[in-house]
Every structure is written in structure tokens, then in C-alpha cells.
Structure 1
Amino acid sequence: MRWTRAAVVASALSIVLAGCGAGPSDRPGVAVERPAVGGVPTTSVAPAPPPTAQVPKTDLSWRDCTATTVDQLGLGPAPAGLVLECAEFSTPIDASGSVLGSFRAGAMRARTAQTPAGAPPLVLTSGTDRSSTATLAGMAVAGGTLLTDRPVVAVDRRGIGTSQAIDCLPPSVRRGLADNGQFGPEANQPIEAVTGYSQDGTIACRDFLQPYEGTFDAPHAADDIEQLRKQWQVEHIDLLGAGNGARVALSYARKFGDHLSRLVLDAPEPVGGDAVTKEDQRLQGAEAALKGFAQRCVGLSCSLGADPRAAVEALVDRAASGGLGDISANALLTGITGFLGAPRADQPARVTELADALSAAGRGDRAALTTLIQRESAATAADGQFVNRCTDTQQPPTPVKAQELTTTWDQKYPVFGRAAAIALMECAAWPVATAPAMPEKLALPVLVLGGVADPVVGSGGSSSVTGALGAAGATHATLTWQGWGHPVSTHSSCAQRAVVTYLKEGKLPGDGTACPA
């Protein structure tokens, strides 16, 4: 069932977002000399240890969904012993009672044969970047040490993944946004075209959701996690927020910090700042990830030839001029970026898969590339993500500024820049909300993970996040992974070991620790 203007009643929904997993890198952390931030008390009196999470007293009604999940997400056969279980729970549309009614939130639990039966779960949210359940499925298939320590429960944000779906965008608007207006009547004026699609999409979705249109922000997503805690009947939970999910996790820390036992922020998006600055940071990460892919591609003698990056740039230019049929430049980049971020990108065979799909498209065979784009578009461009993402957008640029950036970023980021500048107008018409407030006081050590080549959020978010944590009085430490992809905990076994230690003991690694690729 989908969102309506009447009382919201939901049923279980199929998972439609895609991702893929491969084994994370498994190398030890390296201590980096830098001023300590977290983990070192400033007095001779040791601080009291943080509370520990508990095993749910009243759990959800889980059902096995392993085979359907890995099939629908294109993950291939599930590793032996992996169990994915799906469930739904009811949560108020607005916990304050200003809007009555409830809806169904979707959740997934992952465990293996080695997962201790009595271990408390780690709650995961990846926000709007990709459904949390798809993120968890990719992490579970990729393997590593996290699931051998405890089960992980992912909670999908409203209207995304297995949570109650939103179907509000007119098909023409949905396609126009996906293609950056390349094939519409204003194809020669893409900034104006996407601005128009934003206006039409905003009107359609806000009218459709009324009076619930204001309940898709990060604080409401935090309320949904709190509702899960209440249903479990536990006092404390462990929480991992990845990418945009870090915004949700920080909102939870502000509103319900007394119920947190551990907090991990994995590749967090920046807090504060305007949309242009955030996108510029993401573009830096995307270019760095593409460089990493190209280097590995050369090492494998892949089908893109001696200069894979140049081959990708040429294919994007070809798509922009209509040379790939109905595949737009923005759709092509959606597929590439999703692939670079997913754990599949760390497996040599998968690097070859992307290279072969791009090479075949260059020769006129677009079947493999089309499948890849469809999978990644479903993972990142659902109507629910449009609503949530636009609700989160702060200080979008004017059309004049976006037009300037089409030139500036095209020169600075030749592969991704121009399309990113046009896409900045996707949420131009959505009313700008006040940025979620950061925690004012947080007496909890916080682990922050970051990557040097993150195509989803870039690498510039950690400093603003640690600044907010410091202002709240929280001790914290940052661990940096030297590889490419998103998020860190899916890719790096070194980072996973740090997370496991932190979850067990509340102990942070040395600030500035580096995990090799």
C-alpha cells in the first residue's frame, strides 16, 4: 500500500533497491601521529564507561527473506550461513501528535551462523543515499567480522526501500530528473529544464503527501528508530549512521542521547554548509574513486584500454551528445557512481564487469550498461528519496549560480562536474527547512569513519561532524580508510575490527588511525 491522504496503512513491500557485495579489504590499521581528540582522558580520574546495549525483550516478527533479497538486489548466491530476515513495525507519523496516524517502517536483520544468539543488535541507517536494508544486505554479502560479533538491524527511512512506498512523481518528471532534462523540450537549457521538473515534482509530491509533507526530515527518521527501541523494550541501543544516515544518527543523539550506548558515524555527510559546498566535496570523492578504479582496471588489463579514465570521460561526452541512444549522461554517471560506491567495486571480477559494460556500450551493445543503470537508479532515485533528499537540502544555489558551475565544474571535474551542477536544481523548488539541530550535550565516545575516495559523500564531512561532536562535549576519534567506495564499514575489515572493539569495550582507536586499502 502507498501513502494516501487518509489514514496510513501499510503492508510489507518488496525490496527494490540494488547493491552488490564483495569481500572487504583485510589489512591492519596504521597509527598516524596527530593531536589526540578522543579516547584519552584529560584528568587522572577515568570517566565512567558508557552503558551497554541490551537484547530486545519484545522483538519484531521476523521472516526469512535471504533468497528474495539477494536475488532482487543482484547480489548473487548468499554466503553459507547468512540469514537475512525482514519485518515491519508501526510508527507514528509525528511523535508530537501534531499529525495523527501511523505508517509501516521496514527493517532487516542480518546474522550468520557465528553470530552469538544473545548479542544485542547494532542498528544501521544509511538515510537517503541507499535504502538501509540494501546497505545492510551488501555489507552482509561482503562478509567481514562485524556480523560474527552481533546481528545488525537496518531501518529504512520513510518512503525508501522496504518502508511504506511513495508514488508521487509524474512519470515525465521522474524521467526528466533522472536524465537532467537531456531529452526534454528544453534540452538545450538544462538548468531551466531541471528547475521546471523540480517545480512540478514539488507540487505533485507535497500535494500528494498533505498533511504529512513535513514529516520526512532526519528528526522524524530518528523518531522511527526510537519507536523501534521502545518496541524492543530496551533502555539503550548501539547505532551506526552511514553517509546521510549520519544526519539521522546525530538527530537521534540530540533527541534521545540518553538511550545511546555506542554511536558510529561512517563516512558522514557534512553538517551545516550549503548544497554547493557539499556537492563540491562529493565530486572530489567521485573523481578520486574513479582514479582508483582506473588504476585497478589497468592492473587487470581491462577492456577499457591503457587509459580507462579517459575512456570513461569520452563515453560520458558521447552520452551527453545523444550518442548512447536513450542513455543520458546523468543516467550513465548514476550507474558509474553507484558501482564505484558499492562493495562490489573492491572485487577484481567486478571491476572487469563495469569495464566490460562500458566498453560494450561504446561498441553499440548497451544491454549490460542498461541493466547496471536500472539497478543503481532504483537504488538512489525512488520518489521517496526525492522527498527525503529535498527535505534535507540546505541552501540550494540559484539557477544563475548553477549555470556558472556547469562551466567551472566541467573544467575542474571533467567526468562528473557538469551533470552535478545541473542536478543541483533538482530540489530548487522544495521549501528550504531549518537544518536539524546538532546534539547540545553528548556524554559518549563516538567513532567516526572516513574514506579518502568516497563517491557518495566525499571526504570533507568528518571535520564538520567532529566539530559538532566536540561542541557537544563528546570524546571522539577518526579512523580513515585509504581505499575507494562507500561506506567504510562495508569495505574495510580493518575498520570493522575497530568497530567491534568499540562496541564491546566502548574504547576508541587512536585518533588519526589509518586503514590501508
Structure 2
Amino acid sequence: MRRRLQLALSLVVISVFVAACAPILAANPRYATDSGAKPQGQPQAAPPPAATPGIDVPKNDLTWRDCTSRVFTEAAITPLPAVTLDCATFDADLDPINGATGNLSIGVVRAKSAQTPADAGPLVMTTGSDLPSSTQLPVWLSRSGVDVLNTRPVVAIDRRGMGLSGALDCRDLFDRQEMADQAQFQSGDDPVANLGAIVQTATTSCTDTIAPGDSAYDNGHAAEDIERLRSTWDVPTLALLGIGNGAQVALAYASSHPTKVARLVLDSPLPLGIAAEAAMEQRVKGEQAALDAWAAQCVAANCPLAPDPKAAVDAVLNQARGYDSLGSRSVATVADAIATALAYPRGDRVAAMNSLASAVAGTRSGDWSAMTNLINDAEALRDTDGHFVNGCSDSLNRPTPDRVRELVVAWGKLYPQFGAVGALDLVKCLNWPSGATPQEPQNLKFPVLLLGTQNDPVVGNEGVAAVAATVLNAGTSNKRVMWQGIGHGAAIYSPCALPPLTGYLDTGKLPETDTFCPA
């Protein structure tokens, strides 16, 4: 009897234990019997991933005309075999955001090669206000960018008042030169006040010239010009590559037209709402980093300035400051020429390094010819009236004149070659009408590819991390491609950056990991 009782108790315990271990199974009638599974249907499958938007061929294309020779020549690039450049314009509303009426012309250039498929949709490229997109496109093609044409055409769109969009002419020659020189040759000991007086006149002249569109040249309006291009083409979405300020324009487009983007590549970006002082300090840091990296390369290659290239640069800047009798140009124009040569190198790395070194060496000995050429190139590339109008329209939360005076001293110590010049550059936009901060993008449904450069003399190297946070906050993913070299635009100057870029354009999928490209 005792053994039967023990056996019964054991069976009860086992039954309780089994029931306790499988409450979920018991609760689902499909698991009670084999026949119960069929009436309940099959288990719910995970929803399929959203289809990657295509990059469509324009249904209503622009009226293109061949401009291969002209555009390559203006960019100082030898035309490439089997590459054709076509130019076109389209009309955009003057101010679709604030309602000012009128129209203006936007210029675009399309690149195709003999290998470009006829049924491939284009990649839209913008460099924003850094320099005309139509000028940088031939440079990209002369490097590794031509490989992009194997799968699709590239269409570069210029910002208002720049390049093929019709260059603005709103400052007189005196004001333009005084602003380039930062009023260095005027009498008095307050450069902020001297430059401010010139800037006031130039600002009035330019706002009068573009009226009633004096608030229609910022990132948001540049984004609306891209939207006009999309609607003119009658395509559902666009693939966008934005470089530098162009990355801000592309990000503004993704914010205002999130459902119209199929691919978004942001190269050398800055956040949309970055304050003028912060943006300038990042630029100055980038200039210093680029100079340091260039000097290290110069020493390693035994260039004409070895063993101390930075000392030679300091000597030339001191000449420009008038500390000896060999000075010929202002310190601002010399500093900007050096920074521009670092940002937009010509030829390969060795050729670009030696070209700048030779210009500095010649200037030290009193021969300003090569440096003068660099100065003229920098002014033509980065200091046009269109650059002034667009750059100041994008400038947010500007410092006061007294704050600029503080920065001239502080940055001059922190960043000895470029700090004081960068601080004074802030004066140029102090009188421009204040603009609105663009909205950050939200609820993005596509991944974003980010590219950056370790030594970028235009935007520095801090913007990629900040924009990555913006992308994450917008609800989507990103991967990074970081180039360890010197220049502005990893996609432009690093062949290593091209495979992740083309892979993303072709598939809509990000690389599995971040990519680090050597110098």
C-alpha cells in the first residue's frame, strides 16, 4: 500500500511539473492536437522589408546641349576620352518658401560615357556654395569618379548665382578686393571695424541686386531647386550626392521631401543648424590639420621646404603681414590660397604637395608669381559674389563684432597660421539678413551613406559624427567611409571611397561595415 501511494504521489508531482514548464504551449490550441493546427492557420510571417526605391530615368528630360570642351577647360581639366558633358538650364521659382514672386535660371551639367546605360537613372550631385558643382564634376571624373558613369549618368546642379546658374555681380571691384584682403591696408587699429564698414556697403549692394529674393539664397531654397528638377523630370525619387555645403543642401532636401529620396550620400557634411562661429572654428581646425599633414608629407618626401615646411609658411605669412620688405599681397589672400590648394589638390598627392611647396619657396625668395596664381585661383573658385550671397544666407547665429574681436586674438594663438584670418572672415556676414534654421529630417525610410576626410580644410572632420547623430534621430541607419588624406570630398579624391559609394547607389544597401581609406 505504501509503495502504491508513493507511486501515485510521484505521478501527481510529475504532472504538475510538466504543466508548470509548458504554459505557453498549453495556451495555444494549435499545439494540443495535430488536427488543431490546420483550422488556426499558419504562423504569422515577418513582414517583408520595404522595397528599395529605384532611380528612374527622367520622363521629361531637359534640353541638353554639348558643352564638353567648355566645362572641362573652365575646370582646367583635360577632356576625358569617351566622356560627354551636356549643359542645360531650367526655371525655378524665386521664393517658393516665403512667397516672393519671380523666376531664376538654374544650371546643370550631365556627364555620360560610352558605357553609361541608356535606361539608368541619374545621380544628382551638388557641392553647394563651396564652389560650383559644374566645376568640381570634371575634377571628380578626372579621378575615379568616371567609373560611376559605367552604371549611371551624373547630373551636377549649381547653386543660385554660381556657375551655370548665372554668376551674380553685385559688389564693386573695390569692395570685393577689400573684403578679400580683410581691409588689411586701411589705416587704423581696428580691423573688425574697418572690414565691417566695407561689408555694410557690399551687403546693401547685393541685397538690392537680388531683391525681392534677399532671403531666397539659403540651403532651404537650394533644396527647392532640386525639387523643381525632380518634378520637371517627373520621377518619383532622386539619388543625391552632397559634398560639403552640398551635403547640407541634400540633408535639407531629405528633411522637406523625405519621400522623394531614393539614395542619400553626404560627403564632408556639417549639421543643418550649426552656428557660424562653430562652423568657422571647424574650418580653421581643418586648415591647421591639413597644413600639419601636408608638412609631414613634405618632410618625408624631402620637398623643397624640408626640413621645416611650416616655418616656411610662417615666413610667407609674415611677409604678407608686412613684417619685411618682400610683402606683396594680404595675409588673408595668402592664407586662403594655401588652404584652397590643400582643399582642392591638382594632380596626384606628390604633385600637389610639391606644387604648393614650390610656390611657398618662391615667395620666400621674393618671386610671387606662383603664389599669385594660387591666390587668383582661390578667389575665382571660392570668393565670387555668388559665394558671398549663398554663404551668408546659410550663416546662422552670427557672433557680435566684439565677439569677433575676442576670437581674432584667441584663435590667433590657438591656430597660428589660419586662426585670425578665420575669425575676421566672420565679419563678412554680420550685416546679412538673418535666415531661418532648417528643420532636421524626421522619419527617414532609407539608409544614409556618410563620407568624411581626416584633414579637410573646408569643414574639418567633426561634422560626420554630428550628422550621423542626426540620421539616427531621424530613425534610419548609416555607415561611414573615412579617408585619412588631405582634401575636401572623400568621394572626389579617394579611389578607395568609390566602391562603397557605387555599391550603395546600385543596391540601396549600405556596406556591412564602416570603411577607412588610407591617405
Instruction: Using structure 1 for the length normalisation, give the TM-score.
Output: 0.87
1:480 matched to 2:482? The reply is: yes
Per the alignment, residue 10 of structure 1 pairs with: none
Q: Deviations over 1:28-81 (max 9, x none)?
A: xxxxxxxxxxxxxxx976631320110112222222222222222222x22322
Per the alignment, residue 101 of structure 1 pairs with: 102
Per the alignment, residue 507 of structure 1 pairs with: 509
Q: Deviations over 1:390-432 (max 9, x none)?
A: 1111111122221122222122111111111111111011122
Per the alignment, residue 387 of structure 1 pairs with: 389
Per the alignment, residue 330 of structure 1 pairs with: 332
Q: Could you tell me whether the CA contact under 8 Å between 2:215 and 2:433 is conserved in 1?
A: no
Q: Could you tell me whether the CA contact under 8 Å between 1:241 and 1:264 is conserved in 2?
A: yes
Q: Could you tell me whether the CA contact under 8 Å between 1:271 and 1:464 is conserved in 2?
A: no
- Which structure 2 residues correspond to residues 31-430 of structure 1 after superposition, within 5 A? 47-75=49-77, 77-95=78-96, 98-144=99-145, 145-186=147-188, 188-321=189-322, 323=325, 325-344=327-346, 346-430=348-432
Q: Could you tell me whether the CA contact under 8 Å between 2:75 and 2:136 is conserved in 1?
A: no
- Cα distance in 1 for residues equivalent to 2:76 and 2:326: 24
Cα offset for 1:328?
Answer: 0.9
Cα offset for 1:270?
Answer: 3.0
- Which structure 2 residues correspond to residues 421-440 of structure 1 after superposition, within 5 A? 421-440=423-442
Q: Deviations over 1:215-273 (max 9, x none)?
A: 11111111111111122121111001111111111111122221110000001023323
Per the alignment, residue 8 of structure 1 pairs with: none
Per the alignment, residue 16 of structure 2 pairs with: none
- Which structure 2 residues correspond to residues 6-45 of structure 1 after superposition, within 5 A? none
Cα offset for 1:180?
Answer: 1.0
Q: 1:343 to 1:108 in 2, by over 3 A?
A: farther
Q: Could you tell me whether the CA contact under 8 Å between 2:268 and 2:453 is conserved in 1?
A: yes
- Cα distance in 1 for residues equivalent to 2:313 and 2:116: 42
Query: 1:263 is aligned with what amino acid?
Result: L
Cα offset for 1:147?
Answer: 2.9
Q: 1:265 to 1:324 in 2, by over 3 A?
A: farther
Q: 1:309 to 1:46 in 2, by over 3 A?
A: farther
Q: Could you tell me whether the CA contact under 8 Å between 2:248 and 2:272 is conserved in 1?
A: yes
Structure (1/2) with the larger helix percentage: 2
Cα offset for 1:486?
Answer: 0.8
SS of corresponding position for 2:451 = strand
Q: 1:97 to 1:507 in 2, by over 3 A?
A: same
**Is the deviation greater in 492-501 or in 108-117?**
108-117
- Cα distance in 2 for residues equivalent to 1:342 and 1:197: 29
Q: 1:343 to 1:51 in 2, by over 3 A?
A: farther
- Cα distance in 2 for residues equivalent to 1:70 and 1:287: 31
Q: 1:111 to 1:444 in 2, by over 3 A?
A: same
Q: Deviations over 1:257-315 (max 9, x none)?
A: 21110000001023323222221112221111112222222233222231112211221
- Cα distance in 1 for residues equivalent to 2:374 and 2:209: 31
SS of corresponding position for 2:88 = strand
Per the alignment, residue 31 of structure 2 pairs with: none
Cα offset for 1:436?
Answer: 1.0
- Cα distance in 1 for residues equivalent to 2:98 and 2:454: 43
Query: 1:68 is aligned with what amino acid?
Result: R
Q: Could you tell me whether the CA contact under 8 Å between 1:270 and 1:464 is conserved in 2?
A: yes
Q: Could you tell me whether the CA contact under 8 Å between 1:346 and 1:491 is conserved in 2?
A: no
**Is the deviation greater in 296-305 or in 85-94?**
296-305
Instruction: Using structure 2 for the length normalisation, give the TM-score.
Output: 0.87
**Is the deviation greater in 374-383 or in 138-147?**
138-147
SS of corresponding position for 1:344 = coil
1:492 matched to 2:494? The reply is: yes
Q: 1:476 to 1:339 in 2, by over 3 A?
A: same
SS of corresponding position for 2:163 = coil
SS of corresponding position for 1:136 = helix
Q: Which runs of no fewer than 5 residues in structure 2 stay unpaired?
A: 1-44
Q: Deviations over 1:190-210 (max 9, x none)?
A: 111222222112111112222
- Cα distance in 1 for residues equivalent to 2:222 and 2:341: 26
Per the alignment, residue 33 of structure 1 pairs with: none
- Cα distance in 1 for residues equivalent to 2:69 and 2:439: 40
Q: C-alpha root-mean-square deviation of aligned residues, in Å?
A: 1.9
- Cα distance in 2 for residues equivalent to 1:224 and 1:183: 40
- Cα distance in 2 for residues equivalent to 1:385 and 1:340: 19
Q: Deviations over 1:356-381 (max 9, x none)?
A: 12211222221222122111111111
Q: Could you tell me whether the CA contact under 8 Å between 2:106 and 2:225 is conserved in 1?
A: yes
- Cα distance in 2 for residues equivalent to 1:309 and 1:149: 44
Greater relative contact order (CA < 8 Å, ≥ 6 in sequence): 1
SS of corresponding position for 2:108 = strand
- Cα distance in 1 for residues equivalent to 2:266 and 2:163: 21
SS of corresponding position for 2:346 = helix
- Cα distance in 2 for residues equivalent to 1:350 and 1:473: 41
Q: 1:419 to 1:324 in 2, by over 3 A?
A: farther
Question: Aligned residue pairs: how many?
Answer: 473
Cα offset for 1:490?
Answer: 0.3
Q: Computing the radius of gyration over CA atoms, which structure comes out larger, 1 or 2?
A: 2
- Cα distance in 1 for residues equivalent to 2:247 and 2:270: 7
Query: 1:265 is aligned with what amino acid?
Result: L
**Percent identity, aligned pairs only?**
40
Q: Which runs of no fewer than 5 residues in structure 1 stay unpaired?
A: 1-42
